[in-house]
Chains A and B, each alone.
Chain A
Amino acid sequence: EIVLTQSPATLSLSPGERATLSCRASQSVSSYLAWYQQKPGQAPRLLIYDASNRATGIPARFSGSGSGTDFTLTISSLEPEDFAVYYCQQCSNWPLTFGQGTRMEIQ
């Protein structure tokens, strides 16, 4: 099973700041990695797929990078609605796995 480790567990930032979230895989997943955003009481939402492609309707301030085992989600300038929990997911191998999540909170 491929283990995805996200860091940091919690990120405290202010609106307008840049956010950098990390996801590290225990073995290569090529570029088969996605990022999701989840707000309290809501289902997750797909942000990024294939490591760097924005999903439909996702603002340009969200970007993804990386391949192999190291991946990054960057939010260039935080908006108030961006404070949420973010998960990475790999679909390179079965079983599909998610990272444990990074909680982004307002400083």
Chain B
Amino acid sequence: EVQLLGSGGGLVQPGGSLRLSCAASGFTFSNNAMSWVRQAPGKGLEWVSSIRVSGGGTYYADSVKGRFTISRDNSENTLYLQMDSLRAEDTAVYYCAKNWARWYIDDWGQGTLVTVSS
């Protein structure tokens, strides 16, 4: 059974930083691209970032480019999202996601809440 256990969320002040982690199990992590998708309270889904199998290719939404960094440790089966210069509009549940085929998402984590507020 695929499990994606996100952690690292919480309350942070505007301008602050957080690092999200996602521990993967139940599949061969090093064989799958991975992504982060967020959902602001009461809103729809917003793709944030994706990373290829080897970590050599990374992609970002314009709204986070230059502030967020996605990375992975295939030896630890863990996905990361370093979030800097956080803004109120970054407040959301952040889902760790396993990509499949092209860039579809066939498995999702439980979500980690990030709240940016003073």
Contact = CB atoms under 8 A, between A and B. Distances in A.
A44 B47 contact: no
Contact of A87 (B44, B61, B95, B108): B44
Contact of B104 (A1, A38, A91, A94): A91
Contact of A43 (B60, B103, B109): B109
Contacts of B106: 46, 55-56
A34 interface: yes
A45 B59 CA distance: 22
A71 interface: no
Interface string B41-53: 0001111001000
Interface of B: 35, 44-47, 50, 59-62, 95, 100-106, 108-111
Given A98-B47, A101-B44, 17 more contacts: A32-B102, A34-B104, A34-B105, A38-B45, A43-B110, A46-B105, A49-B101, A49-B104, A50-B101, A50-B102, A89-B104, A91-B103, A95-B60, A96-B59, A97-B47, A98-B44, A98-B45
28 contacts: A34-B105, A38-B45, A43-B95, A43-B109, A43-B111, A44-B105, A44-B108, A45-B108, A46-B104, A46-B106, A49-B101, A50-B101, A55-B106, A56-B106, A89-B45, A89-B105, A91-B102, A91-B103, A95-B47, A95-B59, A95-B60, A95-B61, A96-B50, A96-B59, A97-B47, A98-B46, A99-B44, A100-B44
Interface of A: 1, 32, 34, 36, 38, 43-46, 49-50, 55-56, 87, 89, 91, 94-101
